Amino acid sequence: EDNDLIDIKHYIDSHFVKPNPDYFGIAKDRNVIVISLESTQNFVINRTVNGKEITPFLNDLIEESYYFNNFYHQTGQGKTSDSEFIVDNSLYGLGRGAVFFTHPKNEYMATPEILANHGYTTASFHANTKVFWNRDEMYQSLGYDRFYHLDYYDVTDDNSIGWGLKDIPFFEQSVSLLKELPQPFYAKLITLTNHHPFVLDESDTFIDTNVTESATLNQYLATVRYEDEALRLFFEQLKEEGLYDQSIIVIYGDHNGIIEKDFEVLSDFLGKEYNAHTVVEMQQVPLIIHIPGQEGKTISTVGGQIDLKPTILHLLGIETEGQLNFGHDLFSLDHPNLAIFRDGRFVTDQYIFAENTCYVKDSGKIIDGSYCEHYHDIVTKELNYSDQIIYGDLIRFYHKDLYDIKKE
Ligand code: GP9
Ligand code: MN
């Protein structure tokens, strides 16, 4: 097993890309507020229904943030928990099952643990039972000091819908908890209202979204609009509590909300042909990195959730060279522009590969498979290596040999 690790480490080390010096450390010592947006796909950004924006707040926010408009979710059956796993570890989830359930006792080297070693308080906020997705157990292995789960929230019939506490009261109550945390902190907040079956109270419905023949898609657009309002209020509260200026806010979508049965309707709604290329595009989720005091810009690097760990650590001025990360800093000028999906599909700056077909990324035209061939080896290798790390619990060797030595 030690030998497997040596090969893997060699592969990762040889694919390391240097941070961009213009961005390295620009958020040093700031709080990090990570917001996982339930089922939020990128197509809602800057789109209107009946002349009204679906995400008016986010549309304004991206004008003063780093907005990644070529960013993909990479989750599998573990849904939200997979996104959490990928984001915090820069490892892939598993091809079957959810790592949060199958390997919670492994040794990891996750962002919260690393930041705890740098004096950060680390916490996750989510108004569901602590055992859901086995979070209470897995969070300990990821290095979260605190988990504010259902028991910490005041949940009533009035302030809940669907899966539980609505996003607006969730953020309100979370701010009260957040302001008590010793700073700097790494805090992850996970929303819930925009979850299938996308139910909403009349009073929380801000736009008329009866625009497609899919009731699910229509309701989805309305719950996304509600989530956007919750974010707007959350930013106001951060400012009121004096938490805004000394923080950076990282917002990403966890995975698709619209599933296969509605792909065709969604393609129509987006004005696209329904094919494997369009379905890959649907795997885009928003990534917004808001750094108060910085203008930001739109960045079109092709990346995925796997890239967030090195991206965040580099913004905080923490080196990641030598870590076992499959992702790359999204600000790096040498980012490989590759997003690998768990099922082997992938996106590059030029091509999309899906259903054994190579497409030109921008036009959607089918081209000779040889154009995509060069990537197959990398894709297979990365997914296999990541699986080996998880199934073999290989990071425990890494700790022993390298990580602990580095810490001393
Ligand atoms: C549950 C929430 C939703 O706590 O994170 O989980 P999902 O079904 O999206 O994986
Ligand atoms: Mn989810």
Q: How many CB atoms lie within 10 A of CB 302?
A: 23
Q: Which atom of ligand 1 is nearest to the CA of 129?
A: 4
Contact between 143 and 113 under an 8 Å Cβ cutoff? The reply is: yes
Q: Which atom of ligand 1 is nearest to the CA of 38?
A: 9
For ligand 1, say whether the CB of 79 is within 6 Å of any of its atoms.
yes
Give the ranges where 194-331 is alpha helix by DSSP (H): 215-240, 263-270, 276-281, 308-315
Average pLDDT over residues 357-361: 98
Predicted local distance difference test score (pLDDT) of residue 405: 40
pLDDT digits (tens, 9 = 90+) for 153-209: 999 999 999 999 999 999 999 999 999 999 999 999 999 999 999 999 999 999 999
Residue 407 has pLDDT above 90, yes or no: no
| Structure tokens given for 370 | 């040889």
Residue among 85, 128, 131, 133 whose CB has most ligand 1 atoms within 8 A, to mutate: 133
| Structure tokens given for 241 | 């509590």
Residue nearest to atom 7 of ligand 1 (CA): 80
Residue nearest to atom 6 of ligand 1 (CA): 80
User: Rounded to the nearest whole angstrom, what is the distance from the C-alpha of residue 45 to the centroid of ligand 1?
Assistant: 22
Average pLDDT over residues 122-127: 98
Residue among 39, 41, 79, 220 whose CB has most ligand 1 atoms within 8 A, to mutate: 79
User: Rounded to the nearest whole angstrom, what is the distance from the C-alpha of residue 296 to the centroid of ligand 2?
Assistant: 27
For ligand 1, say whether the CB of 190 is within 6 Å of any of its atoms.
yes
User: Rounded to the nearest whole angstrom, what is the distance from the C-alpha of residue 111 to the centroid of ligand 2?
Assistant: 20
The catalytic residue among 55, 75, 80, 122 is: 80
Q: Phi then psi for 214, rounded to 5 degrees?
A: -100, 115
Residue nearest to atom 4 of ligand 1 (CA): 128
Predicted local distance difference test score (pLDDT) of residue 399: 66
Residue 408 has pLDDT above 70, yes or no: no
| Structure tokens given for 151 | 């028991």
Predicted local distance difference test score (pLDDT) of residue 2: 65
Decide: helix, strand or coil at residue 396. helix
For ligand 1, say whether the CB of 195 is within 6 Å of any of its atoms.
yes
Give the mean pLDDT of the chain: 96
Residue among 35, 192, 193, 285 whose CB has most ligand 1 atoms within 8 A, to mutate: 192
Residue nearest to atom 9 of ligand 1 (CA): 80
| Structure tokens given for 63 | 């004008």
* Ligand nearest to the backbone CA of 128: 1
pLDDT digits (tens, 9 = 90+) for 328-340: 999 999 999 999 9
State percent of the chain over pLDDT 90: 96
- Cα–Cα distances in Å, from 50 out to 61, 155, 244, 268, 269? 22, 34, 33, 16, 12
User: Rounded to the nearest whole angstrom, what is the distance from the C-alpha of residue 80 to the centroid of ligand 1?
Assistant: 5
User: Rounded to the nearest whole angstrom, what is the distance from the C-alpha of residue 266 to the centroid of ligand 2?
Assistant: 19
Decide: helix, strand or coil at residue 378. helix
Give the ranges where 22-165 is alpha helix by DSSP (H): 56-61, 79-89, 99-102, 111-116, 135-142
Decide: helix, strand or coil at residue 353. strand
Q: Determine the Cα–Cα distance for residues 221 and 360; give it in Å rounded to an integer.
A: 29
Residue 80 designated active-site: yes
pLDDT digits (tens, 9 = 90+) for 255-286: 999 999 999 999 999 999 999 999 999 999 99
Average pLDDT over residues 137-164: 98
Residue 68 has pLDDT above 80, yes or no: yes
For ligand 1, say whether the CB of 132 is within 6 Å of any of its atoms.
yes
Predicted local distance difference test score (pLDDT) of residue 3: 76
User: Rounded to the nearest whole angstrom, what is the distance from the C-alpha of residue 189 to the centroid of ligand 1?
Assistant: 13
Residue nearest to atom 5 of ligand 1 (CA): 80
Residue 406 has pLDDT above 90, yes or no: no
* Ligand nearest to the backbone CA of 82: 1
Contact between 94 and 387 under an 8 Å Cβ cutoff? The reply is: yes
User: Rounded to the nearest whole angstrom, what is the distance from the C-alpha of residue 79 to the centroid of ligand 1?
Assistant: 7
Q: Which atom of ligand 1 is nearest to the CA of 135?
A: 4
Q: Determine the Cα–Cα distance for residues 73 and 58; give it in Å rounded to an integer.
A: 18
Residue 307 has pLDDT above 60, yes or no: yes
Predicted local distance difference test score (pLDDT) of residue 1: 55
For ligand 1, say whether the CB of 80 is within 6 Å of any of its atoms.
yes
DSSP result, 230-266: HHHHHHHHHHHTT-STTEEEEEEE-S-SS-GGGHHHH
| Structure tokens given for 287 | 């990534």
The residue type of 407 is K
* Ligand nearest to the backbone CA of 132: 1
Residue among 37, 73, 75, 80 whose CB has most ligand 1 atoms within 8 A, to mutate: 80
User: Rounded to the nearest whole angstrom, what is the distance from the C-alpha of residue 132 to the centroid of ligand 1?
Assistant: 8
Predicted local distance difference test score (pLDDT) of residue 89: 98
